[in-house]
Amino acid sequence: MVKAAVLGASGGIGQPLSLLFAVSGLVDELSLYDVVNTPGVGADLSHINGKAKVTAYLPPNDGLQKTLEGCDIVVIPAGIPRKPGMSRDDLFKINAGIVRDLVTGVAKYCPKAFLLIISNPVNSTVPIAAEVLKQHNVFDPTRLFGVTSLDVVRASTFVAAVVGGSPTEYTVPVIGGHSGETIVPLLSQVSPKVDIPEDQLDALVNRIQFGGDEVVKAKDGLGSATLSMAYAGFKFAKSLIEAAGGKSGIVEPTYVYLSGVPGGEEVKEAVGGLDFFAVPVELGPNGAVKATNPLPQVTDYEKSLLKKCYEGLEGNIKKGVEFITAQGSKL
Ligand SMILES: NC(=O)c1ccc[n+]([C@@H]2O[C@H](COP(=O)([O-])OP(=O)(O)OC[C@H]3O[C@@H](n4cnc5c(N)ncnc54)[C@H](O)[C@@H]3O)[C@@H](O)[C@H]2O)c1
Ligand SMILES: O=C(O)C[C@H](O)C(=O)O
């Protein structure tokens, strides 16, 4: 019996993500939560003749508690998206409080669930989630994941656009964080190996780092990536559910609290002591099993990208942590 919840289920990401869960055959119950429209989204999805029983809640009458009780996996895409001209950090003001309150619910009602954070700025919202869980004495770093899989999905698509072939052929390690220069694609470690022409390297890296901006610009004020994000978020959730069910050898890049994940201390040392960082992580029955360390093999070019990444991430992480610690008392 697997119960999944989507918090922010009525939104641009939440709806297609919920659809993918509903038709996946991977979950027995799919629980939808949002501050608006979940009765409609829930009624609609409940007509699909899949195995998932769909339940839907709004905040009144203990809706969050009912959504979360018994959950094995919780995905949070709640919060506002960017408009042209905004950075992901500009979303902090509103989304930090939304993530804090929803994760407080997770800490109270399903502290052992896998928790996947999509809401931006991921570089800061994941540290917020960790601090909330710590305050409730239920923080298990092997179960908290910042979802960076859209960067990985984009990277393989954009690499194929340069070197040819099918995007699904390429596995590109994308490490660091999830915004602009904190996103670091390791093009020297693509599998199978690719040769990026020297004169196209900067443009390719830039496209991977700023791929989100392409969508924000094209949507012209109506939001950011939703469909590709739902795909990428579901892909990660599926890997996690399958690994929990016993499938071995699954590795997905994800933004984790390094100290609590096996292998993470070695990465932490290599990235100048940052507490959170995205690296390829092997998944198992209890979540993160091993963080792999791709840093010893990086090229000088990638080292220069990483320098900027570390600078940006340090401030983003601090901002998230301090948002909770400054509030002092228990949430
Ligand atoms: N991690 C990534 O790679 C990635 C990719 C794309 C978008 N995002 C982020 O995901 C978030 C959502 O994007 P979207 O396009 O779906 O936005 P959206 O505005 O379409 O949907 C957000 C939903 O969250 C709901 N919501 C707001 N406050 C809530 C609360 N307190 N509890 C529950 N639900 C609440 C809203 O009602 C809305 O339905 C944004 O912050 C966006 O930046 C992250
Ligand atoms: O670009 C955004 O704001 C949304 C998301 O983080 C993305 O990478 O598409």
Q: Is the pLDDT of residue 330 over 60?
A: no
> Which domain-ending residue is among 107, 129, 146?
146
Q: Measured between alpha carbons, how far is residue 73 from residues 2, 68, 69, 169, 284 in Å?
A: 8, 9, 11, 29, 14
Indicate the pTM of the whole model: 0.98
The rounded percent of the chain whose pLDDT value lies above 90 is: 98
CA of 96 to the centre of ligand 1 (A): 12
Q: Quick one: tokens of 57? A: 């809640």
Q: How far apart are CA 165 and CA 152, in angstroms?
A: 17
Write the pLDDT tens digit of every residue in 184-237.
Answer: 999 999 999 999 999 999 999 999 999 999 999 999 999 999 999 999 999 999
Kindly state the percentage of the chain with pLDDT values over 70: 99
Same domain, 133 and 151: no
Pocket lining: 224 vs ligand 2, CB cutoff 6 Å: yes
Q: CATH number, domain at 86?
A: 3.40.50.720
Out of 95, 119, 146, a domain closes at 146
Instruction: State in Å: Cα 267 to ligand 1 middle.
Output: 30
180 and 312: one domain?
yes
User: Is residue 232 a contact partner of residue 146, using CB atoms and an 8 Å limit?
Assistant: no
Determine the distance separating the centroid of ligand 1 and the alpha carbon of 82, expressed in angstroms.
10
- pLDDT (0 to 100) of residue 312: 97
Task: Give helix then strand counts, H and E, for the chain.
Answer: 11, 11
Are 153 and 139 in the same domain? no
Q: Whose CA is nearest to atom 3 of ligand 2?
A: 82
**Do residue 165 and residue 241 come from a single domain?**
yes
Q: Which of 95, 122, 146 is the last residue of a domain?
A: 146
**Ligand 1 atom showing the smallest separation from residue 9 Cα:** 39
67-113 residue pLDDT tens = 999 999 999 999 999 999 999 999 999 999 999 999 999 999 999 99
Q: Are residues 241 and 166 located together in one domain of the fold?
A: yes
Residue 44's contacts (CB-CB under 8 Å, 6 or more residues apart) are none
For residue 331, the model assigns a pLDDT of 60
pLDDT mean over 132-144: 98
**Do 168 and 196 share a domain, yes or no?**
yes
Q: For ligand 2, atom 8, which residue shows the shortest CA distance?
A: 212
Whether 306 and 197 map to the same domain: the answer is: yes
pLDDT at 146: 98
Q: Is 118 annotated as a binding residue?
A: yes
91 Cα: distance to centroid of ligand 1 (angstroms): 10
Q: How confident is the model at residue 145 (pLDDT cuts 50, 70, 90)?
A: very high
As a whole number of Å, the end-to-end CA separation of the chain is 31
Query: Domain total for the chain?
Result: 2
91 C-beta neighbours (distance < 10 Å), count: 21
Residues 238-254 pLDDT 10s:
999 999 999 999 999 99
Question: Other CB atoms closer than 10 Å to residue 227's CB: what's the count?
Answer: 13
If asked whether residues 169 and 295 sit together in one domain, one would say: yes
* Alpha carbon separation from 58 to 8, 33, 40, 111, 291 (Å, rounded): 10, 6, 11, 21, 37
What CATH number is given to the structural domain containing 172? 3.90.110.10
Residue 154 counted as an annotated binding residue = yes
- If asked whether residues 97 and 215 sit together in one domain, one would say no
Ligand nearest to the CA of 210: 2
Based on the fold, state whether residues 92 and 210 are members of the same structural domain.
no
**Residue 11 marked as a ligand binder:** yes
Quick one: 206 and 269 in the same domain?
yes
d(CA 22, CA 4): 10
Q: Given the structure tokens 């830039």, which residue do they identify? A: 206
Which of 284, 274, 285 lies closest to 175 in space, CA to CA? 274
Q: In this prediction, does ipTM exceed 0.95?
A: yes
Q: Are residues 325 and 182 in the same domain?
A: yes
Q: Per-residue DSSP letters for 185-253?
A: E-GGG-BS-----HHHHHHHHHHHHTHHHHHHHHHTTS-S--HHHHHHHHHHHHHHHHHHTT---EEEE
Decide: 155 in ligand 1 pocket, CB within 6 A. no
Range of the domain at 262: 147-331
